[in-house]
Amino acid sequence: MRVGVLTGGGDCPGLNAVIRAVVRKGVQVFGYEFVGFRAGWRGPLEGDTMALDIEAVRGILPRGGTILGSSRTNPIKVEGGIERIKDNLAGLGVDALIAIGGEDTLGVARELYDNGVNVVGVPKTIDNDLNATDYTFGFDTAVGIAMEAIDRLHTTAESHHRALICEVMGRHAGWIALHAGMAAGANVILIPEQPFDIDKVVAYVESRFKTRYAPIIVVSEGAHPMDGQMQLQTGERDAFGHVRLGGIGQRLADEIEKRTGKEARATVLGHIQRGGTPTAFDRVLATRFGLQAIDAVRDGDFGKMVALRGTDIIRVGLDEATKELKTVPVERYAEAEVFFG
């Protein structure tokens, strides 16, 4: 059997661990042959491939990013894109495809499966917003990086007695902001799931200053104020229709400084959260996902995504995995000493 592998969407710590696990078990245990598709869905769309064997995956476990490259190419938006992929897979003799990615990548995988392609999905996103799995690999690494950054902001905030805002990734799900903010003892956490009241945020900042401590605010890039409170700019859209987010941290800093007269600075972590070596948790989870994915291929269990439930790796339908985003249930954290704005 010849199996194709691709990584789509944003890069993520742990991608190489999945590729390594898939190839090593597939070759050594099942005797399969592998072909890597470059740059996400652009690879099978254009027939852009690379050799993927034991030698190619040697030493990649601790490496961030992906040796296959990635992109936000959406073949569904390309005229005849699905048929082109099917033709290219057939021409390359690819019997099955393992797609590693988030909701957009796996949404394309589901479409391909519905059109007769043998596909298995692996959930990847630092945002942890993919449905039907407790955690996605990459999330733990991103939270750890954000937590360390916020720890460092505490000391400089106290030294200069200024408000510091840390903007983290997450798009429409506030998991990174929530976990990193709670772990690092942030004073205010603003997430997309709950529009914030800028008046309350400012009041909390002022009360924090009165205690002679400086406030630390963690804000998810997709957080937004209540209607009519602040004007936010909207960015251009990608191939999947997502608006490019970013800038809420600086807008908050400007508003807080204007209203309080206190100095406020914004730090945007951005792609720092995606880069570098994955944590032990993400390496293990990604490896387990890869092993289960190639098992699914062997079993002919296509149209599925591997997922973490509790401590078990299970298989769920691609339709279940992509039907909706997994967002933060704010009410579940009501007992935590954390302020959502």
Give the DSSP per-residue string, 179-226: HHHHHTT-SEEE-TTS-B-HHHHHHHHHHHHHTT---EEEEETT--BS
- Is residue 76 a known part of a binding site? no
Catalytic residue among 48, 53, 104, 127: 127
Distance spanning both ends of the chain, measured CA to CA: 54
- Is residue 271 a known part of a binding site? yes
The encoded tokens of residue 286 equal 């990604």
- Is residue 10 a known part of a binding site? yes
Radius of gyration of the chain (CA): 21
Give the type of residue at 53: D
Q: Where are the beta strands (DSSP E) in the chain?
A: 2-7, 33-37, 49-51, 96-101, 119-123, 163-168, 188-190, 216-220, 264-268, 304-309, 312-317
| 44 backbone dihedrals φ, ψ, rounded to 5° | -70, -25
Contact (CB, 8 A) for 172 and 326: no
Q: Specify whether 127 is catalytic.
A: yes
CA atoms lying within 13 Å on the CB side of residue 116: 7
- Is residue 274 a known part of a binding site? yes
- Is residue 125 a known part of a binding site? yes
Separation of alpha carbons 83 and 294, rounded Å: 25
- Is residue 172 a known part of a binding site? no
Q: Which residues, listed in sequence order, are joined to residue 196 by a DSSP beta bridge?
A: 225
Separation of alpha carbons 223 and 231, rounded Å: 13
- Is residue 103 a known part of a binding site? yes
- Is residue 126 a known part of a binding site? yes
- Is residue 251 a known part of a binding site? no
Q: Which residues, listed in sequence order, are joined to residue 5 by a DSSP beta bridge?
A: 36, 98
CA angle 221, 171, 258 (to 5 degrees): 20
Q: Which residues contact 71 (CB under 8 A, 6 or more apart)?
A: 8, 39, 40, 41, 42
Measured CA distances, 287 to 132, 168, 305 (Å): 19, 26, 15
- Is residue 171 a known part of a binding site? yes
Separation of alpha carbons 175 and 162, rounded Å: 26
- Is residue 127 a known part of a binding site? yes
Known binding residues for diphosphate are 10
Binding site, annotated residues for Mg(2+) = 103
Annotated binding site for substrate: 125-127, 162, 169-171, 221, 265, 271-274
Which residues are known catalytic residues?
127
